[in-house]
Structure 1
């Protein structure tokens, strides 16, 4: 019979394209080293051009040969589903929602490794010369349901996908593209190099104890929360979704990390490269983005309209119903559920969120900032639904920056208070304002919360302890609000004082970046736990030099121009990176955490603060009538207590001169992981991480890093 020209290359010129038996084909599955042992014993199916199906198993070397099939190409598939009980595969394939069609082939591919450290394909395979045809394939080439698998990686020797269309036109099996598998041609031996199914995931410590690893990693994840989810189409998908937008949450987790690519960009305008510390894991143990497959999952069908589920709705919260402008993402693997909450990025509801009114924290003790509480309540059901689907005893790690940190705290305490749940929660926040009152903080004392503060970031100073109380200790008469660092609209609001009530109070263990300038003029910082409020207030109060009852305008504008101290990419991330490098070096050389020169610089700052508090104490006393002057006055008591706390802070600082770090201080629960050294080797392969400046001084921000994220926003400040 005659053939169309495009079909002729697939057939021998001496062989008619008709249903005649008597032909053979052989094939071998191998890894990138040319060994087929990883795939030995796998079950396979082959269909010929008449639709007849043959089945068998690979030999111990991954080889198989089929003889006597009908003339023409055949299609090979390896779709045998996993039937064992091994974790996490059994759990993933049997869970109530989004059961994954995990095949035996997938598990074998997850147990192989890349030859190249970066996961790039090799140019050739050692066994390639033994074959008539050589294809570089992936698991998704050989199975039908592929939505849960990574996107295809670039390859030089790809199977001829259009051959499937040819087979469909010949009447073989279902129509293409539903037809799955790799086409093998008759009377030829084909070598199939299967790409390892490995992924990268950010290393995290599950310890309660603070560590430099989590400090850095969660700073990056907190910043990523400012990105879109990046799904295309964003709503009402029909048959498939993709995540082409970079950077975006979906692109990082579903594309780059799933495809073994190191992602470093967590902000669209970011220039400096800050690579997370990644560990290589079997693909099924990555941070998951659920698949979209309407054929497998009825909840994915587009006819459900507003009730349709897709990855963006499962993993990404972007509040429209309640109008709080709250945004967050959530993902998980077998050990960790990660929740990252974004601060406000627009001014739509900023003025309402700026309301410092306190409302009862219904889930527990005390009262919370009304705007922050409303934002937490808006996302609560979203989080609970996700946990109901995917929580299986993992550590829940919650992080957030600015307003996102305040919401993260309320969310963590709300989850902890659920009687029927047993959630094990760990919280890291960056530049977060006070979210609730002292009663809340006391009631949530058992919640593990590491609160990171940049010394020059004014946001953690608000709402001030005196707000909504009768005592105005720090800044009488005015509240500073920021709408943007440039051009810098300003708003001063008064009258936020309520009679009675408990003062706003920070929760958690403060980790404070204390800035210093090294001898060569470069900036560095020391991360420590001062334990007193005056250090926290100092960065903000320098801008609020009062003239009468209003801040000095010039100083306040200067503070606005230095608002990058609140940004993540320009401030918190570089400082966190410097701390990780510094602590790594400290462990390597077994040196002290604070050098004598650093102690001298910070000690001088503490002495200055102590003197300022004493001067303020005397000034307040002089303002009162002579017959009312007494060191028993509430102002005197508060200031004297703070002076005592400063003295204690200095003692803490001095102890750092002799403290020696251990590996667990740096890497937490990952300190003795077998994956740590390979992960560090990968991390140090990047030039940016090999640079060792004096005591890991903070890398200077580029100009493009000053704008995003995140401008000071009104709801974060008050």
Structure 2
């Protein structure tokens, strides 16, 4: 038997060889298209079975060959840290906490692209035909520290992981505690196809101006805030954490988007698919969920017990144990810090909603709703601690729905007034109740706040000005005259009565969804800025009609916060999607925002509301009391009649208004990634509705019977 024949058994996948010299190994790193140039010049380290190390650099085509090595398998790693000058990477590697061990290999992999647009593994890599062995690898296969890297995607051609463990058991190669690297076998040329390190991140405009993109995207993020973080184990992790639960905040960012998956579920009961618009970015530029690695980061060590840090404690605020039951999540990339605050979701939230007593807003001017203020104070330190670590002049975008919108407003103003900080804040709220008084609103006048209201949503009408007092002073009979109007009437006049303190007042620029039922039965909505309270109060009035006289306050609030038109997946998200599609079509066709038929329907509704106010004014004139103080009501009604007239004029301008790309996409209007992102978004059937005017998506079969959008009954 020849020497080669006797040594052959040692060169199998199952058994290392003895330490004899005279053999060779070669390898090549390629992308999914079979090109090695992206990895040219990359430094590598090889450990052989005799414990020898070989260092070198790949050729310009990503190839290396070692001659006269000891017999047996070798272990290949690419563990050299990035030494370039690109600032995004340098900042992540040098930040004061959770500095990332970014390698040269990671940076190279982030610059490559997938062969298949959806990120699935592709067979038929042309480099494979020149290989004795072919493996599909990821960066985490080839480096030591992997907590900051995505999970391994499914693959057909896996490297020999068992051989790596066997070499570690026998004392060859790297220590078993790391098990880093890929095993290569002697006298073989091995091709390693490296999976690109790319991720999705939701596109968010950083412009002050309102845009349809943020309207839709932040509606989805505000809805995601109702989910749990989804970390496993949720507390006191030992070695690693996972995010297996879908939907959850952790799964959405750390699993789906980090793994280049097009996520759409933001609510556990969601059946209809609403896809965010994603931009494809290098992995390091995604919305980050911080790594958990007790070896690298002492603050992750389990022995710290209650002081131990882990992703859930860093990104997710849940104050249920301390009584306020406030919930929010926070994440960031180099341009944006995103904060989303949850709305009403529990009995504790309901009690806070009902607590309309005012307290001083100590971080600014005026007074705030006590329940909302307590929730804001509960989460303030959590947010400031995160910003102190990871804020590097990014735009801070805050969003919230319902109760979350009210808390988000107080948080945004509190952050804006933080001493020695220059936080640049942009706020979007959905269906938020009034959170503070007129003095607060005036003091926060420079805060950029886009306030989104669905027409039939009653929640933005509370706390009404008559609810700024304690229960024992609250007198239902005082507002009876205006709380039980005829069908189609208004609750506006209820705001004329109050007891003590300053009246509650909304903050921000209102964007109002006005619902439309077209003659063919299609549901749609027009987003505009009406500029008067009567339209906003119609939703609360609709709820009060069901009770006649003013109901008990707690029961009223319970009813309002459970209204179908207040839910995100049933109303705000579909209406936001319809607005985005309408504005896209309008911008592409250079047409008007509303059709003549839509204008006719809405104008008729507004004129009807104006006539109702005139009738109320005449009624008050007939019932003028002997002390002749009725002029106070008349002045307010006259002012509102004038505002309704202005609203009709604003509506008329929509017939002629033309949109440009910035109205639709904000700061992304002229970016290079916009068109690829739109192409991906429109690849989903749900986003290709060929309607002349974008309408609310029809309910899926599983959602029949659930409220999907608004109707026009309450304003005609």
1:697 corresponds in structure 2 to: 695
How much does 1:352 deviate?
4.2
The answer as to 2:565 corresponding to 1:565 is: yes
How much does 1:121 deviate?
1.0
Tell me how far apart the structure 2 counterparts of residues 417 and 148 of structure 1 sit (CA, whole Å): 34
1:282 corresponds in structure 2 to: 282
1:664 corresponds in structure 2 to: 662
Asked if structure 1 preserves the Cα contact closer than 8 Å seen for 2:150 and 2:254, the reply is yes
Give the match's secondary structure for 1:476.
helix
Tell me how far apart the structure 2 counterparts of residues 370 and 561 of structure 1 sit (CA, whole Å): 18
Q: Deviations over 1:693-714 (max 9, x none)?
A: 241111134475599999xxxx
How much does 1:342 deviate?
0.2
Give the match's secondary structure for 1:678.
helix
Tell me how far apart the structure 2 counterparts of residues 431 and 211 of structure 1 sit (CA, whole Å): 18
Asked if structure 1 preserves the Cα contact closer than 8 Å seen for 2:17 and 2:73, the reply is no
Tell me how far apart the structure 2 counterparts of residues 333 and 440 of structure 1 sit (CA, whole Å): 31
The answer as to 2:68 corresponding to 1:68 is: yes
Asked if structure 2 preserves the Cα contact closer than 8 Å seen for 1:467 and 1:497, the reply is no
Tell me how far apart the structure 2 counterparts of residues 197 and 646 of structure 1 sit (CA, whole Å): 54
Tell me how far apart the structure 2 counterparts of residues 474 and 420 of structure 1 sit (CA, whole Å): 49
The answer as to 2:479 corresponding to 1:476 is: yes
Asked if structure 2 preserves the Cα contact closer than 8 Å seen for 1:29 and 1:63, the reply is yes
Tell me how far apart the structure 1 counterparts of residues 348 and 112 of structure 2 sit (CA, whole Å): 50
1:238 corresponds in structure 2 to: 238
1:685 corresponds in structure 2 to: 683
Which structure 2 segments of 5+ residues have no match?
Answer: 1-6, 484-493, 709-716
Give the match's secondary structure for 2:252.
helix
- For the structure 1 residues 352 and 529, does the alpha-carbon distance in structure 2 shift closer, same or farther, using more than 3 Å as the test? closer
1:674 corresponds in structure 2 to: 672
2:395 corresponds in structure 1 to: 395
Give the match's secondary structure for 1:574.
helix
Give the match's secondary structure for 1:418.
coil
Give the match's secondary structure for 1:215.
helix
The answer as to 2:166 corresponding to 1:166 is: yes
Q: Deviations over 1:558-604 (max 9, x none)?
A: 98799221111111000000000000000111111111111111111
Asked if structure 2 preserves the Cα contact closer than 8 Å seen for 1:326 and 1:344, the reply is no
Tell me how far apart the structure 2 counterparts of residues 290 and 250 of structure 1 sit (CA, whole Å): 10
Q: Once structures 1 and 2 are overlaid, which stretch shifts more, 77-86 or 37-46?
A: 77-86
User: Where do residues 289-688 of structure 1 align in structure 2 (5 Å cutoff)?
Assistant: 289-348=289-348, 350-468=350-468, 476=479, 499-545=499-545, 549-550=549-550, 563-625=563-625, 627-629=626-628, 633-688=631-686
How much does 1:165 deviate?
1.3
2:4 corresponds in structure 1 to: none
- For the structure 1 residues 201 and 705, does the alpha-carbon distance in structure 2 shift closer, same or farther, using more than 3 Å as the test? farther
How much does 1:322 deviate?
3.4
How much does 1:550 deviate?
3.5
Asked if structure 1 preserves the Cα contact closer than 8 Å seen for 2:279 and 2:674, the reply is yes
How much does 1:683 deviate?
0.3
Tell me how far apart the structure 2 counterparts of residues 216 and 11 of structure 1 sit (CA, whole Å): 58
How much does 1:549 deviate?
3.7
User: Where do residues 142-221 of structure 1 align in structure 2 (5 Å cutoff)?
Assistant: 142-221=142-221
Give the match's secondary structure for 2:397.
strand
Which structure 1 segments of 5+ residues have no match?
Answer: 1-6, 481-493, 711-718
1:4 corresponds in structure 2 to: none
How much does 1:478 deviate?
11
- For the structure 1 residues 68 and 347, does the alpha-carbon distance in structure 2 shift closer, same or farther, using more than 3 Å as the test? same
Tell me how far apart the structure 1 counterparts of residues 384 and 525 of structure 2 sit (CA, whole Å): 38
- For the structure 1 residues 227 and 597, does the alpha-carbon distance in structure 2 shift closer, same or farther, using more than 3 Å as the test? same
Tell me how far apart the structure 1 counterparts of residues 327 and 583 of structure 2 sit (CA, whole Å): 33
How much does 1:468 deviate?
2.5
- For the structure 1 residues 457 and 474, does the alpha-carbon distance in structure 2 shift closer, same or farther, using more than 3 Å as the test? farther
Q: Once structures 1 and 2 are overlaid, which stretch shifts more, 350-359 or 62-71?
A: 350-359
Give the match's secondary structure for 1:419.
coil
How much does 1:474 deviate?
12
- For the structure 1 residues 552 and 380, does the alpha-carbon distance in structure 2 shift closer, same or farther, using more than 3 Å as the test? closer
Tell me how far apart the structure 1 counterparts of residues 410 and 482 of structure 2 sit (CA, whole Å): 23
Tell me how far apart the structure 2 counterparts of residues 473 and 351 of structure 1 sit (CA, whole Å): 20
Q: Once structures 1 and 2 are overlaid, which stretch shifts more, 185-194 or 688-697?
A: 688-697
Tell me how far apart the structure 2 counterparts of residues 601 and 16 of structure 1 sit (CA, whole Å): 81
How much does 1:477 deviate?
5.3
- For the structure 1 residues 19 and 697, does the alpha-carbon distance in structure 2 shift closer, same or farther, using more than 3 Å as the test? same
How much does 1:692 deviate?
2.1
After TM superposition, the score normalised by the length of structure 2 is 0.91
Tell me how far apart the structure 1 counterparts of residues 232 and 333 of structure 2 sit (CA, whole Å): 24
- For the structure 1 residues 660 and 704, does the alpha-carbon distance in structure 2 shift closer, same or farther, using more than 3 Å as the test? same
Asked if structure 2 preserves the Cα contact closer than 8 Å seen for 1:336 and 1:397, the reply is yes
* Higher share in helix: 2
Tell me how far apart the structure 1 counterparts of residues 519 and 565 of structure 2 sit (CA, whole Å): 22
How much does 1:542 deviate?
2.6
- For the structure 1 residues 195 and 708, does the alpha-carbon distance in structure 2 shift closer, same or farther, using more than 3 Å as the test? farther
Tell me how far apart the structure 2 counterparts of residues 107 and 174 of structure 1 sit (CA, whole Å): 23
- For the structure 1 residues 386 and 561, does the alpha-carbon distance in structure 2 shift closer, same or farther, using more than 3 Å as the test? closer
Q: Once structures 1 and 2 are overlaid, which stretch shifts more, 345-354 or 420-429?
A: 345-354
Tell me how far apart the structure 2 counterparts of residues 9 and 706 of structure 1 sit (CA, whole Å): 66
Q: Deviations over 1:351-390 (max 9, x none)?
A: 2441100001101111100000000000000000000110
How much does 1:176 deviate?
2.5
Give the match's secondary structure for 2:420.
coil
- For the structure 1 residues 468 and 479, does the alpha-carbon distance in structure 2 shift closer, same or farther, using more than 3 Å as the test? farther
- For the structure 1 residues 397 and 473, does the alpha-carbon distance in structure 2 shift closer, same or farther, using more than 3 Å as the test? farther
Asked if structure 2 preserves the Cα contact closer than 8 Å seen for 1:325 and 1:344, the reply is no
The answer as to 2:264 corresponding to 1:264 is: yes
How much does 1:123 deviate?
1.0
Q: Deviations over 1:536-561 (max 9, x none)?
A: 001221332398743699x9999879
After TM superposition, the score normalised by the length of structure 1 is 0.91
Asked if structure 2 preserves the Cα contact closer than 8 Å seen for 1:569 and 1:708, the reply is no
- For the structure 1 residues 440 and 561, does the alpha-carbon distance in structure 2 shift closer, same or farther, using more than 3 Å as the test? closer
- For the structure 1 residues 408 and 137, does the alpha-carbon distance in structure 2 shift closer, same or farther, using more than 3 Å as the test? same
Give the match's secondary structure for 1:542.
helix
Asked if structure 1 preserves the Cα contact closer than 8 Å seen for 2:352 and 2:372, the reply is no
Give the match's secondary structure for 1:466.
helix
- For the structure 1 residues 709 and 701, does the alpha-carbon distance in structure 2 shift closer, same or farther, using more than 3 Å as the test? closer
- For the structure 1 residues 448 and 705, does the alpha-carbon distance in structure 2 shift closer, same or farther, using more than 3 Å as the test? farther
Tell me how far apart the structure 2 counterparts of residues 124 and 569 of structure 1 sit (CA, whole Å): 42
Tell me how far apart the structure 1 counterparts of residues 304 and 586 of structure 2 sit (CA, whole Å): 57
Q: Deviations over 1:276-310 (max 9, x none)?
A: 00000000000000000000000000000000000
Tell me how far apart the structure 1 counterparts of residues 704 and 392 of structure 2 sit (CA, whole Å): 40
Give the match's secondary structure for 2:56.
strand
- For the structure 1 residues 606 and 471, does the alpha-carbon distance in structure 2 shift closer, same or farther, using more than 3 Å as the test? farther
